[in-house]
Structure 1
Amino acid sequence: MESITLEVTQGVYKTAKEAREAGRVPIVYYGKGIENANFSADYQEFRRAYKKGGKSTIINFIDENKQEFPVLIHEVQYHPVTDEFLHIDVMAVNMDKAIHTEIPLVFFGEAPAIKDLGGVLTHNKDVIAVKCLPKDLVHEIQVDISPLIDFHSSITVGDIKAPQGIEILDVAGINVIGVSAPRAEEEAVVAPAPAEGEEGEKPAEGEADEKKEEK
């Protein structure tokens, strides 16, 4: 299990706004049977930890008293304009009890249906629901796409090989990834040229005689 350490402070700032103004990210810590607590972490330190671990890696919070809190990031709120972190929710983790979470899927390899047939990769799932002990949690699960040999091939949840100690909870028959046929190029429709003698409308009966008389 990969582990990440993040230094946090508890109860130093009265409001989330005050923490953000000090260059920190406000964090709410909660879990079953424990009292909620407010932490904050240095913005850049949290950014690096989240980039490395995401929501599928145990992060060990260490507060100013050197007390450790193993957590999983549950929810991240972003500023609607700047996309900066606004608020983080983390769940307390009991290292002796199984947890339910999601692990990202990372696809690798070369699909013959794309290389040889010009198909287009279609993703249906990018994460997979799992159950495991915290010590068995992995940051990602890799999926080889080389079995996609034609447009009828697909990789389902049941085809994914989970690392030891991890139980996949999603239904085995769910389609994860496949290849669709390329769209045929639309041919421009050219209107046929008018046949000889059809360039203009024929004069109504009687009009031709009237024009002759005018001459």
Structure 2
Amino acid sequence: MNQVLALERIENPNTVRKSGYTPAVVYGKGIENPQKIKILKKDLLKLLRNNSKHSKVYLDYNNSRYFCIIKDIQFDYLNKDILHVEFQAVHEDEEVKVSVPLVYEGEQLLESKGFILEVYVSEVELEGKLKDLPDVIKIDVKDKKLGDKITVEDLKLKEGIKVLDDKDKVLAVISEAETSEEELAS
């Protein structure tokens, strides 16, 4: 599991950013009051390369290690910089509800067969012990046939993890790729 070092923040957010850090906050289990922290920007970018909102990470702060969920990441939409990150400290055995992204794998093979994947749902809400929850759910679609539907019931999850959506909810469908008139003419 990924970890990052956080330092106490007493400066204002703009000063923190100018000094190469990203302002953040951590709160939750084992933390009396929300703590203003800062994380070295390059360390945060490295952490976020493989993690995103709802990911589980360890935060080293004030001579302690906290098991956290990344609750929110605020971006500057003009230049894509990270403005602020929010971490929630939790116990690994705590029952939580989180939204987890779905990653569809094998779309290129579908396209080579003249099919497309129509995605209706890009994330599902799960409930379970935090340590058991996946960061993403991978769904292999390469062997799917025209008309196949991928539903919540098709998701393969560890025992003890519950999907909070209806088991018949359609997540994606395999459809025929539409051929443009130009492609037909050639």
TM range (shorter): 0.7 to 0.9
Give the distance between the partners of 1:149 and 1:139, measured in 2 at CA: 28
Cα deviation 1:34-83 (Å, max 9, x = unaligned): 421111100010111112222343211112x3112221111111112110
* 1:48 correspondence with 2:43: no
| TM-fit CA distance, 1:111 | 8.5
1:144 corresponds to which letter in structure 2? Answer: D
Work out the CA distance in 2 between the residues paired with 1:111 and 1:43.
Answer: 35
Per-residue deviation at 1:181?
Answer: 2.6
After TM superposition, give the deviation of residue 5 of structure 1 in Å: 1.3
Could you say if the C-alpha distance between residues 75 and 110 of structure 1 is closer, same or farther in structure 2, counting changes exceeding 3 Å?
closer
Q: Which runs of 4+ in 1 moved over 3 A?
A: 31-34, 109-116, 184-187
For 1:136-215, list aligned pairs within 5 A: 136-146=132-142, 148-150=144-146, 152-186=147-181
Alpha-carbon distance, 1:85 to partner? 0.3
TM-score normalised by structure 2 residue count: 0.85
User: Over residues 159-205 of structure 1, what are the superposed CA-to-partner deviations in whole Å (9 max), with x where a residue is unaligned?
Assistant: 11112332211221221111233335348xxxxxxxxxxxxxxxxxx
The equivalent residue for 2:89 is 92
Please give the root-mean-square deviation of Cα atoms over the aligned residues, in Å: 2.3
Give the 3-state SS of the residue equivalent to 1:35 in structure 2: strand
**Partner letter of residue 39 of structure 1?**
I
TM-score by length of 1: 0.74
Structure having the higher strand fraction is: 2
Q: Percent identity?
A: 22
Structure 1 alignment gaps of length 5 or more: 188-215
Which residue matches 1:28?
25
1:146 shift after superposition: 4.0
Contact 1:111–1:145 (CA<8 Å) still a contact in 2?
no
Q: How far off is 1:145 after superposition? A: 1.2
Checking the alignment, whether the CA contact within 8 Å between 2:107 and 2:117 is kept in structure 1 is: no
Stretch of structure 1 that moved more, 78-87 or 50-59:
50-59
Q: For 1:111 and 1:51, how far apart are their aligned partners in 2?
A: 23
Indicate conservation of the 8 Å contact 2:107/2:116, yes or no.
no
The question of whether the paired residues in 1 share the 8 Å contact of 2:54 and 2:71 is answered with: no
Larger C-alpha radius of gyration, 1 or 2? 1
